[in-house]
Structure 1
């Protein structure tokens, strides 16, 4: 049964920074250019790649081979919790969807196979959070990365929220529910550029209301 699986932790083989820093390539905070900026992508994806690299080493499989693709299929077909969530994601990134040809789980928005694969990945989070094998920050980090890797499947406001959040999720921060709601309200009000200049969730949530939007 899935609940008997070990739920090995993911994303913990690489030390994360403690402060958000500017990317030397895109000029944004590291992570905000993900996945288009090469350096942002390298820094964020390294959390996933370190776990996948360990799995390759432990199974004697070489990267870039047909055996690696077979391993990816085994990871996705095994019980939930048998592998780190980072390995589940990496396996999805490696494989192509047989129906739409896109990256499995991130292909055409109308593709049933991709929708099923994307939905299946979140079973790990639901069960691991319940059993305290995953932190809320790790869950939020995973959601943001998965969303930004499939921008054609999400609304622009959601993408903006994930771009704003990723640099701070990367260093271990997590917004409260009220902070997240207020930041989203600012995004919907067209204040992304103002939010992007602020340092952290607290600062973004504390952005003053525009005078003509305040209530008397």
Structure 2
């Protein structure tokens, strides 16, 4: 890459606001609807279904195209990959999180050769890139990324590399993605109930739910209730001699996006 181009790029990004928001150039759909290609709720076929992939990726792509335009580069041109590498090498918070994600789709891992962050579970380079990705959210929340945007980001990342997560985790995010696209966010408890029903073999029935209220309103399974009661009883038994319960690991700081609940 020409040295003058690199210097011009660095001078421009130095003037950018820290942690610019992402995924806000496209209006969210008013409601979920069937995909005309795969027939499932639109977005749920991501990334295999082309229509679902375009529906989801437009929130990322428009931010990336804006960056390309600012750098006077063409999409698919010779300089796009070099720009992606510069974005990933930059300090966290220089670019919208959508641009970081899109850059990862354009760069191949130097160790395994797969899409960066989506390689085999034992690829150290992909693991490092995936961990660095989420530092953006934890520093920028809630001013530059909302809980709904964080969940949408997690869902896309999970579905792009399903082999890196447990099957139940992948299925739960696949079920939720159409509703995340319209800005509906389930609580951690609701996600845990959805996951429990997936573990119990209820994915097909869950996939028939056409509203977030219907999907998130699932009853707690009896075996989940029993496990919760047992956990609470054990916590009471684990009190120290002074009568103070042993403390669980500290909760995330108030206002931070919750860790992936599934």
Greater mean deviation of Cα atoms: 114-123 or 198-207: 198-207
Equivalent residues of 2:193, 2:219 under 8 A apart: no
- Distance of aligned partners of 1:157 and 1:72 in 2 relative to their CA distance in 1, 3 Å threshold: same
- Equivalent residue for 1:207? 218
Question: Which of 3, 25, 30 matches 2:37?
Answer: 25
Among 166, 178, 196, the alignment partner of 2:177 is 166
Cα shift readout 1:167-212 (whole Å, capped 9, x = no counterpart):
0000000001211111111111110111111133432232346799
Is residue 2:162 matched to residue 1:151? yes
Where structure 2 has 5 or more consecutive residues not aligned to the other structure, the ranges are 1-15, 227-262
2:63 alignment counterpart:
51
Give the CA deviation at 1:133: 1.1
TM-score, normalising length: structure 1: 0.92
For 1:63-102, list aligned pairs within 5 A: 63-102=75-114
Aligned pair 1:178/2:189, yes or no?
yes
Residues 151, 159 of structure 1: 8 Å contact kept: yes
Aligned partner of 1:140 among 151, 158, 165 = 151
The aligned residue for residue 51 of structure 2 is 39
Aligned residues: 211
Cα RMSD over matched residues? 1.9
1:60 CA displacement = 0.4
Distance 1:92 1:212 in 2: 40
Maintained 8 Å contact 2:179/2:212: yes
Question: Does 60-69 or 193-202 show the bigger shift?
Answer: 193-202
Listed as ranges, the gaps of 5+ residues in structure 1 are: none
Contact 1:5 1:80 in 2 (8 A): no
CA distance in 1, matches of 2:128, 2:225: 43
Aligned to 2:200: 189
2:209 corresponds, among 175, 191, 198, to 198
